Amino acid sequence: DPQAPDAVLAGLDDEQREAASTLTGPLCILAGAGTGKTRAITHRIAYGVRAGVYDPHRLLAVTFTARAAAEMRSRLNALGAPGVQARTFHAAALRQLQYFWPMAIGGTMPEILDHKVRLLTEAARRLHISTDRAALRDLASEIEWAKVSTLTPDSYLELAAHRPEPGGVDHRTFAKLYQSYEDVKLDKHLIDFEDVLLLTVGMLEDDERVAAQVRQQYRHFVVDEYQDVSPLQQRLLDLWLGGREELCVVGDAAQTIYSFTGATPDHLLQFTRRHPQAKVVRLVRDYRSTPQVVQLANVLLADRTREQAKIRAQMQAQGEQPPAWPDPLRLISQREHGPAPSLTQHADDDAEAGWIAEQIVALRDSGVPLSEIAILYRTNGQSQAFEQALATAGISYQLRGSERFFSRREVREALAALRTSSLVEESGDGVPKTVRDILSSHGWRREAPEGTGAVRERWESMSALVGLADQLHAEREMLDETLTMRQFITELEERSAAQHAPTVEGVTLASLHSAKGLEWDAVFLAGLSEGLMPITFAKTQREIDEERRLLYVGITRARKHLYMSSAQSRHSGGRGRRSPSRFLRPLRRELGLEEPTRRIAPSSGTVNPNSRAKKRTATCSSCGTVLTTGTEVKRRRCEDCPARYDEELYERLRSWRSSHAKELDVPAFVV
């Protein structure tokens, strides 16, 4: 009987079913990538709702990105359990803050500022400090770091000694700027992104009425990607629970990649210590990837274990206590064999990107949809070469995925224009043509624009609206009905409220950090060279380990086709030489490759063999690239050092923030 509650348990294996049918009490699912953790908890929620154990409005599921939240909501709908709240920590906190602000704090809630730098300019002006824009960005990212680490200006000073001086100012000045920034923010009645969690935690701690009401609202909690929970998020979760234990957490310590936001897998690994009654379920079967892909992930994990054993022995020999590293879980693939993963090396970024574009054309021609292909990279600054190569090859792509689609400026403008015109008259030309006409008057053209970046994104957004009009029109036609503009607008408004972005057909370009929890048929892991992977500033063993986990996350995003590549230099004719990532060594052995499979001559710039001998060589102080020219040796910094071209910390925080920020304009919290 498909209507029976336990029909939703049918598509699960024994361990998954055990987890999904454990509806009460503390529950912890510990398992590797692609083993169906997210699937198990989604089915658990559906089962509990259908069995009448959970009231869907009393359960809160917390996911890592809004995209994952939207996916969970739509799966729950399909499983016959609508109405469950699946949100990110930020989105859930924001709704509570909005709802309780008048009662707990009074007055209207401040707006959320999206331009820290602008506010910081004012803060610096008040202190008569003059800094340039690049420095301000550094300072802004340092403020973000301090706030996610719950450091006040004073407590920052106590800890700051070992941190580099941000934006060229000393720590004391920075602390003053940080305080001044907070003052300006208060004066202008604004709060920033980090304040949302801080204030919600404060409100729940200080106001018993609020805490009681929230606890009454939510009885059951589910947290996905629990290995990346930050101390602040854990505090929020504890406040929601108020000592109760109706909590299910899911995670994989080997996928901890957000330590820089203060996240730590300790909460996951010590779950049973805090909840002695907890049931622990382990999953080992990998349903996502082919045996070839799974094998590479296993090799990478084993390599880490070997390295850890070495470090442990060293530390013990020196009388130190080694850290308690968790045992890696070996994955067992359930899928049929697929193509061998590839590992290639290219002369420069452009050659690498061009090669990737060629492979994508071949994949597309063999029937792989573009929406099933992703290019993942370490830093957002790397996307430009891929954008260019894909645009040249005529392949559509999406840079930001469907994140915050309805909050994009061009979409809001387009919606306003469509709404206005539909008020004036029904044109019946049919909706697709009307939509094209209206958007054309706003600069939309049928053909993709030449440029990349913002220009391209704007075009993509508008094209997605055109595509949606076509799709809805065709659906109505099949029912012998005609889509009206009014219906189209209503549909757009409903989708906007539900954050249900139209699907954009195109290759996904994303950072490894934002690819968490997602999967594609074909995945390209680009730029796997020293300096980028591990990234230049990853120096300590902890940081290197996190970089390796990031690669593990990347590899395990692929269902079938996996391409790993690196470039020897960043620019064509670039002088520095980068070697392939150290993490590739065991993978190369596994793939039976002595050397990278492919070398391409530099696309420009030739080296005169006679002059080479005379040059002294040295290595770049930041990324280890071999330097060959006099000036470079003097500076000890290679020309295209990643430390110079990417303000990485800023980028990481920005992408972390933007992956959460998409739900910032949610409607008021409803109890």
Strands 520-525 and 373-377: parallel
Q: Does residue 11 have a known ligand-binding role?
A: no
Q: How far is the CB of 590 from ligand ATP (least distance, A)?
A: 21
Q: Is 513 in the site for ligand ATP (CB under 6 A)?
A: no
Q: How far is the CB of 267 from ligand ATP (least distance, A)?
A: 17
Q: Is 74 in the site for ligand ATP (CB under 6 A)?
A: no
Q: Does residue 618 have a known ligand-binding role?
A: no
Structure tokens at 113: 């500022």
Q: Does residue 121 have a known ligand-binding role?
A: no
Provide the CA 399 distance to its chain's centre, in angstroms. 12
- Give, in order, the Cα–Cα distances in Å from 37 to each of 52, 438, 497, 589, 643: 23, 45, 28, 30, 37
Q: Which of 12, 60, 222, 232 binds ligand ATP (CB under 6 A)?
A: 12
Q: How far is the CB of 31 from ligand ATP (least distance, A)?
A: 6
Pick the stretch among 26-34, 432-440, 476-484, 520-528 that binds ligand ATP (CB under 6 A): 26-34
Q: Which of 153, 517, 531, 576 binds ligand ATP (CB under 6 A)?
A: 517
Q: Is 289 in the site for Mg ion (CB under 5 A)?
A: no
* Residue window 464-503: x/- pattern of binding to Mg ion, with contact defined by CB under 5 A: ----------------------------------------
Confirm if 8 and 43 have CB atoms less than 8 A apart.
yes
Q: Does residue 34 have a known ligand-binding role?
A: yes
- Give, in order, the Cα–Cα distances in Å from 355 to each of 72, 88, 189, 530, 532: 35, 37, 51, 20, 19
Task: Give the separation between CA 428 and CA 482, rounded to whole angstroms.
Answer: 8
Q: Does residue 344 have a known ligand-binding role?
A: no
The set of residues, in sequence order, having a beta carbon less than 8 Å from that of 143 and lying 6+ positions away, is 116, 120, 178, 181
Q: Which of 16, 180, 499, 565 binds ligand ATP (CB under 6 A)?
A: 16
Q: How far is the CB of 1 from ligand ATP (least distance, A)?
A: 20
Q: How far is the CB of 502 from Mg ion (least distance, A)?
A: 24
Kindly tell me which of 515 and 638 has the beta carbon lying closer to Mg ion. 515
| Among 38, 54, 57, 39, residue whose Cα is nearest residue 5 | 54
Q: How far is the CB of 518 from ligand ATP (least distance, A)?
A: 8
Residue 397: φ, ψ to 5°: -150, 160
| Among 571, 589, 555, 586, residue whose Cα is nearest residue 625 | 571
Residue 12 contact among Mg ion, ligand ATP, none, beta carbon within 5 to 8 Å by kind: ligand ATP
Confirm if 37 and 224 have CB atoms less than 8 A apart.
yes
Q: For the chain, what's the residue count?
A: 671
Q: Does residue 42 have a known ligand-binding role?
A: no
* Residue window 33-52: x/- pattern of binding to Mg ion, with contact defined by CB under 5 A: ----xx--------------
Kindly tell me which of 255 and 290 has the beta carbon lying closer to ligand ATP. 255
Q: Which of 32, 34, 48, 517 binds Mg ion (CB under 5 A)?
A: 517
Q: Which of 19, 35, 348, 564 binds ligand ATP (CB under 6 A)?
A: 35
Confirm if 506 and 398 have CB atoms less than 8 A apart.
yes
Helix (H, G, I), strand (E, B) or coil at 333: strand
Q: How far is the CB of 36 from Mg ion (least distance, A)?
A: 8
The set of residues, in sequence order, having a beta carbon less than 8 Å from that of 1 and lying 6+ positions away, is 7
Q: Which of 38, 398, 508, 581 binds ligand ATP (CB under 6 A)?
A: 38
Kindly tell me which of 44 and 220 has the beta carbon lying closer to ligand ATP. 44
Structure tokens at 653: 């925080």
The CB-based long-range contact list for 432-439 (8 Å cut-off, 24+ gap) reads 432/466, 432/469, 432/470, 432/473, 434/485, 435/465, 435/466, 435/469, 435/488, 436/466, 436/469, 438/414, 439/414, 439/465, 439/466
Task: Give the separation between CA 53 and CA 70, rounded to whole angstroms.
Answer: 23
Pick the stretch among 7-15, 343-351, 429-437, 567-575 that binds ligand ATP (CB under 6 A): 7-15
Kindly tell me which of 282 and 634 has the beta carbon lying closer to Mg ion. 282
Kindly tell me which of 37 and 560 has the beta carbon lying closer to Mg ion. 37
Residue 13 contact among Mg ion, ligand ATP, none, beta carbon within 5 to 8 Å by kind: ligand ATP
Q: Is 288 in the site for ligand ATP (CB under 6 A)?
A: yes
Residue closest to ligand ATP (Cβ)? 36
Pick the stretch among 33-41, 105-113, 321-329, 657-665 that binds ligand ATP (CB under 6 A): 33-41
Q: Does residue 351 have a known ligand-binding role?
A: no
Q: Is 298 in the site for ligand ATP (CB under 6 A)?
A: no
- Give, in order, the Cα–Cα distances in Å from 299 to each of 244, 303, 334, 438, 589: 40, 6, 17, 54, 10
Task: Give the separation between CA 153 and CA 513, rounded to whole angstroms.
Answer: 28
Compute how many residues bind ligand ATP; rule: CB under 6 A.
Answer: 19
Q: Is 39 in the site for ligand ATP (CB under 6 A)?
A: yes
Q: Does residue 32 have a known ligand-binding role?
A: yes
Residues linked to residue 577 through DSSP beta bridges, in sequence order: 626
- Give, in order, the Cα–Cα distances in Å from 505 to each of 294, 359, 364, 402, 555: 27, 18, 12, 11, 23
Q: Is 13 in the site for ligand ATP (CB under 6 A)?
A: yes
Q: How far is the CB of 146 from Mg ion (least distance, A)?
A: 30
Q: Is 596 in the site for ligand ATP (CB under 6 A)?
A: no
Confirm if 126 and 170 have CB atoms less than 8 A apart.
no
Task: Give the separation between CA 301 and CA 255, rounded to whole angstroms.
Answer: 11
Pick the stretch among 40-48, 426-434, 491-499, 517-525 that binds Mg ion (CB under 5 A): 517-525
Kindly tell me which of 17 and 220 has the beta carbon lying closer to ligand ATP. 17
Amino acid sitting at position 470? D
Kindly tell me which of 284 and 607 has the beta carbon lying closer to ligand ATP. 284
* Residue window 522-561: x/- pattern of binding to ligand ATP, with contact defined by CB under 6 A: ----------------------------------x-----
458: Cα within 13 Å, side-chain hemisphere: 17
What ranges make up the beta strands (E) of 289-372?
332-333, 342-348
Q: Which value, to the nearest 10 degrees, does the dihedral of the CA atoms of residues 612, 616, 617, 622 take?
A: -130
Q: Is 5 in the site for ligand ATP (CB under 6 A)?
A: no
The footprint of Mg ion (CB under 5 A) covers 37-38, 517
Q: Which residues are annotated as a binding site?
A: 31-38
The footprint of ligand ATP (CB under 6 A) covers 11-13, 16, 31, 33-39, 252, 255, 287-288, 517, 519, 556
